[in-house]
Amino acid sequence: MAVVEQEAPAGALGAPAARRPQVTIVPLRGLPIVGLVVVALVVSIAGNWPWALDFFHVAGGGAWTAVDLFMGFVIGPIMRTLSVPARIELTTRLMPKMLLIMPTLVTMTLAAGFQLARHNGMLSGSYGRHAWVVASMVVVAVMAMTALALLQPANIAVLFELRKPQPNPAIVQKLMRRFIYAAGVTGAMQVATLIIMTRLAT
Amino acid sequence: MSAAPQATALAEQPGPKVTELGMLSIGLVAAGVIYLAAYLPRRAPLAPAVVLLAAAVAVLAANVVLLARRPGFAWWRFTQVARWMLLAYLVVAGMLEFTFVYDHTRGAVLALMTLLLATFTLNVPLLAAYTVARFEGSRE
């Protein structure tokens, strides 16, 4: 991909803290919505309701895939070409929301999907496409490793750095680069997920 | 030295590969869970899963020990981030455990799944808190 990465000019983040947007790590207003989704998910699993499980798996999985592809292949390359102050503006608004949205979508998709697979007999070794189910677990494992070890920590660390009175441009650059590349990897893995899931559904 | 260059210097200094080891530990946990789930509803031979669990725990323990020996590490920031992350991932782990129990997973398989889940739940806060703390300078 021919994208020129802009280097941070010295002191690019040196603007007084008052002129930079206020950085929130976790948007507390979103927590009740997350709580509501988790409770609804637990109730659906406990009730073993096929429609609710289908809804959580399909809606959560669709949104997770779309967000990963969009972040990896659209926002990521755009972000690399933005000026550093513009990146900071985008990051301070986008990342806190991602911190709530992504774990919620992942939990919805995986918990409902596992229950659905048990319910439909897809987890059973005798299921004709059992190998595809196992392949989907492997893809999820690779995505989990990338997201939990690289993407999420970089997301949180960049927000902590931006809360400092004098954020260090080199650290912000390094963390954002890591975030963008990790988002690209998970985006690529989502293509594999799409292939597997459409194969299972056909 | 002011806080920002000090933080950069600390982050750049050669140290334990906490992120890489954390990824390895999570990968071993994932392999254990996939192995057990691939056999469902039959019971998988447990030895390979036990080996994977032991390896994941060993890597996690080694990671903690190596991190504890890192000089100048911002432990105050580490514990601040780790405790909130742990709280969040306890909710996720609680849900997964509920699913295991609800699906009638019992005995040695449940014990193994629970230990794998616990190892996973400890790795996630460790990785996030380490990434934040490694870029901290001295206490402000």
A83-137 per-position pLDDT tens digit: 878 888 888 888 899 889 988 998 899 889 888 888 888 888 788 888 899 999 9
pLDDT at B15: 66
Is A94 touching B (CB cutoff 8 A)?
no
Cβ pair A149:B92 closer than 8 A: no
- Give the contacts of A21 (CB within 8 A, at least 6 positions apart): A88, A89, A92, A93
Residues A8, A172: contact at Cβ < 8 Å?
A: yes
Question: Residue B128 — pLDDT band, cuts 50, 70, 90?
Answer: very high
Residue B57 lies in a domain: yes
pLDDT greater than 70 at residue A20: no
Distances (CA, A) of A32 to A38, A39, B140: 10, 10, 33
A59-97 per-position pLDDT tens digit: 999 999 899 889 888 988 888 888 878 888 888 888 899
More reliable by pLDDT, B20 or B44:
B20
Which of B84, B117, B122, B135 should one mutate to test binding to chain A, selecting the residue with the greatest count of A CBs within 10 A?
A: B135
Question: Residue B43 — pLDDT band, cuts 50, 70, 90?
Answer: confident
Please state the rounded mean pLDDT for residues A175-190. Answer: 87
Residue B94 lies in a domain: yes
CA distance B119 to A143: 18
In this prediction, what percent of chain B has a pLDDT beyond 70?
86
Instruction: List chain B residues with CB under 8 Å of A107.
Output: 92, 95
Question: Residue B14 — pLDDT band, cuts 50, 70, 90?
Answer: low
Q: Give domain limits for chain A.
A: 29-201
Q: How many folded domains does chain B comprise? A: 1
Residue B139 lies in a domain: no
pLDDT greater than 60 at residue A195: yes
Residue B65 lies in a domain: yes
Average per-residue pLDDT in chain A? 84
B129 → chain A, closest CA residue: A153
pLDDT at B39: 80
A136-162 per-position pLDDT tens digit: 999 999 998 898 899 899 989 999 998
Residue B19 lies in a domain: yes
Instruction: List chain B residues with CB under 8 Å of A103.
Output: 88, 92
More reliable by pLDDT, A12 or A190:
A190
In this prediction, what percent of chain A has a pLDDT beyond 70?
90
B53-108 per-position pLDDT tens digit: 999 999 999 999 999 988 888 999 999 999 999 999 998 888 888 888 887 888 89
Residue range of the domain that includes B12: 3-134
- Interface A-B: count of C-beta contacts within 8 A: 104
Kindly report the nearest CA distance between residue A139 and chain B, in angstroms: 10
pLDDT greater than 60 at residue A7: no
pLDDT greater than 50 at residue A192: yes
Is A30 touching B (CB cutoff 8 A)?
no
Average per-residue pLDDT in chain B? 86
The least confident of A4-13, A33-42, A122-131, B48-57 is A4-13
Instruction: List chain B residues with CB under 8 Å of A175.
Output: 131, 135
Residue B140 lies in a domain: no
Instruction: List chain B residues with CB under 8 Å of A32.
Output: none
pLDDT greater than 50 at residue A10: no
CA distance A37 to A68: 20
pLDDT greater than 70 at residue A9: no
Instruction: List chain B residues with CB under 8 Å of A134.
Output: 34, 37-38
Residue A3, helix vs strand vs coil: coil
Q: At B108, give phi and psi (nearest 5°).
A: -65, -35
Peptide bond just before B41 cis, omega within 30 deg:
yes
The CA radius of gyration of chain A, in Å to the nearest whole number, is 19
A163-180 per-position pLDDT tens digit: 888 888 888 888 888 888
Residues B112, B45: contact at Cβ < 8 Å?
A: no
pLDDT at A60: 93
In this prediction, what percent of chain A has a pLDDT beyond 90?
27
Question: Residue B121 — pLDDT band, cuts 50, 70, 90?
Answer: very high
Q: At B133, give phi and psi (nearest 5°).
A: -70, -30
Residue B55 lies in a domain: yes
Residue B135 has its nearest CB partner, among A107, A115, A171, at: A171
This complex has an ipTM of 0.83
Please state the rounded mean pLDDT for residues B12-23. Answer: 81
Residue B50, helix vs strand vs coil: helix
Instruction: List chain A residues with CB under 8 Å of B26.
Output: 144-145, 148-149
CA distance B5 to A160: 16
B122 → chain A, closest CA residue: A148
